[in-house]
Amino acid sequence: MLATTPDFKVDPKEALRLRLFEVLDGDKYDLNLERKYSNSITSIDLIPRFYRGYGAIKPVADLASNTVSISNNFSIQGKDYTCRVQPAVIQRIDRKTKEKVEFYALPSDAEELIEKVIFLIASTNGLERKSIGGITRYGTSFSLYEIKKYLQLMGKTKSYEQIRESLTIIRDSKTRISQTDQNNPKRRAEITHDVWSDAVLELEGNGRGRDRCYIGFSDFVVQEISNLSYRQILFSRLTCYGSTFSRYLDLYLSSMWTSATLDRKEPISLLRIMESFGKPQVSIVTKRRDMRAALLDLLEKNVIKTVPSPIKKRINDEEFDYLYYLEPTDHFVEEMIISNGKLKGLKSLSNKITEDEIKELPDKVGRVYSDFVCPDTNVI
C-alpha cells in the first residue's frame, strides 16, 4: 500500500509553488478538446534519452556480458553534454517453451509517448506526495486505463501488458548526464538526470485491481517544477503526428522558438536537431529526408508557412551542416504568446508565494497571464 505523507512535513510555500504545475488553460479534464494543453520540462524533453529505431530490446542470453546502452552527445544553451542510458531488464514469456526469458530493454519511442502521457496526467491532476519504502517523493497516480485511453486518442493501440512493460522500462532504465569542461574537453563532470525515482505498478488482483500505478519524480524533476522550468505546450497538436520525429520537432520548436515573430525567419540546424533527437549516426541523406518529411507534417499542422530548401554550411574540410530557415504561422506565434504570458503569470504568482503575499491560489487560476503580454500584439 502507498502511504500518503502528512501535510505537516511539507513546506507550505513549496507545496503551493508545485501546485502551479497544474495551472493549465482550457478544460483540462476534457480529453477531446482541440486545444488540449500540457507542460514540457525542456531540460529533460530535449535530451536524447530514447533509442530510435529497431533493436531497443535484446535477449540477455544473446549478449553474454555485454549490455545494451546508448550514448549521445548534445548541446543546450552553448554547453556540451553527453547522455548515457543503461537498459532495464524485463521478462517475457517464450511462446514455445512458456518459460520466462530476460531481455535488456532501452526506453524507445513507445516509452517516450507514454512518458508524455504521464506528464500530461501530472499537469492535469497535480503532484502527489507519497512515501515508498520510507522515502517520500512527489509523483503522480494514474491507471493503465487512462494511459490506454490517451494512446487510443492518438491512434495508438497498446494492450495493458504492453503498457505495463513500458512502465517497467521507464522505471528501471537509468540516465546519466555528463558535462564537458569548457577549458579541458577531456574532462567531464557527471550529473544525474534521471526522470523517475520510484514506481509502484499494481500487479496483483483482478480487473481494475491491477490497474493502479504510481510513479515518483526524481529530485531533479521536482526542483525543475519548483523553479518553473517548464512551459505550457499544445499537447493536442503533438498527438496528431504519425511520425515520432515530427512530434519531437514540434516540441523542440515549442520549447526553443519562444521569440517566434511574424515575418521573421529563424534557422534550425539539421545536425543539432538530429543530435538532440538521438539519431546522429544515420547518413546525411537520411537526416535530410527525415527533416523534409517532418517539415511537411508541420506545414500541414499550421506550424510553419512553407518548407524551405536547406542551405549548405561547411563545418570543416569533411563535414557539412544544413540550415532550414523557418517562418512561423500566425497560429504558432499565438501559441508562443500564450505560453510566454502563462509563464510570466506563474512567475508572478511564485514571487507572491515567496513574499507571503498569498497563501493559496486564486479560485480562477487557470488563465493566469502576465500584465506585460497583450493578446492583440503579434510580437513576443
The pLDDT assigned to 316 comes to: 85
Q: In degrees, to the nearest 5, what angle opens at C-alpha 143 toward C-alphas 137 and 149? A: 135
What are the pLDDT digits (tens) for 327-374? 999 999 999 999 999 999 999 999 999 999 988 887 665 667 765 443
Residue 107 has pLDDT above 90, yes or no: yes
Task: Count CB-CB contacts under 10 A for residue 93.
Answer: 11
pLDDT-derived band at 202 (thresholds 50, 70, 90) equals low
Residue 207 has pLDDT above 60, yes or no: no
Q: What is the 8-class DSSP label of residue 51?
A: B
Q: What is the 8-class DSSP label of residue 2?
A: P
What are the pLDDT digits (tens) for 238-290? 888 989 999 999 999 999 899 999 989 999 999 999 999 999 889 999 999 99
Query: What's the chain's average pLDDT?
Result: 85
- Residue partners of 92: CB distance under 8 A and separation at least 6: 100, 101, 103, 165
What are the pLDDT digits (tens) for 210-245? 588 888 898 889 999 999 999 999 998 988 898 999
Identify whether the C-beta of residue 235 lies closer than 8 Å to the C-beta of residue 241: no
What are the pLDDT digits (tens) for 152-189? 888 888 998 999 999 999 989 999 888 876 666 666 66
Please give the Cα distance from 110 to 167 (Å, whole number): 10
pLDDT-derived band at 46 (thresholds 50, 70, 90) equals confident
- Residue partners of 227: CB distance under 8 A and separation at least 6: none
Task: Count CB-CB contacts under 10 A for residue 127.
Answer: 22
The pLDDT assigned to 205 comes to: 44
pTM of structure: 0.86
Q: In this predicted model, which residue has the larger pLDDT, 116 or 35?
A: 116
65-69, 135-139, 318-322: range with lowest mean pLDDT:
65-69
Average pLDDT over residues 304-326: 93
- DSSP for 242-303 reads SSHHHHHHHHHHHHH-TT--TT--EEEEHHHHHHHHT-TTS-HHHHHHHHHHHHHHHHHTTS
3-17, 19-33, 236-250, 252-266: range with lowest mean pLDDT:
3-17
The pLDDT assigned to 4 comes to: 42
Residue 203 has pLDDT above 70, yes or no: no
- Which helix H or strand E contains 137, and what residues bound it? strand 135-143
Number of H helices and E strands in the chain, helices first, is 12, 17
Residue 75 has pLDDT above 90, yes or no: no
The pLDDT assigned to 378 comes to: 30
Percent of the chain topping pLDDT 90: 49
Residue 26 has pLDDT above 80, yes or no: no
Q: Which residue type does 321 have?
A: D
Percent of the chain topping pLDDT 70: 84
Q: Which residue type does 64 have?
A: A
Q: In this predicted model, which residue has the larger pLDDT, 28 or 74?
A: 74
Identify whether the C-beta of residue 191 lies closer than 8 Å to the C-beta of residue 203: no
The pLDDT assigned to 372 comes to: 40
CA 97 to chain centre: 38
Measured between alpha carbons, how far is residue 94 from residues 56, 97, 167, 172 in Å? 18, 6, 20, 22
pLDDT-derived band at 66 (thresholds 50, 70, 90) equals low
Q: Which residue type does 293 have?
A: A
Q: Which of 320, 275, 258 is nearest to 76 (CA)?
A: 275
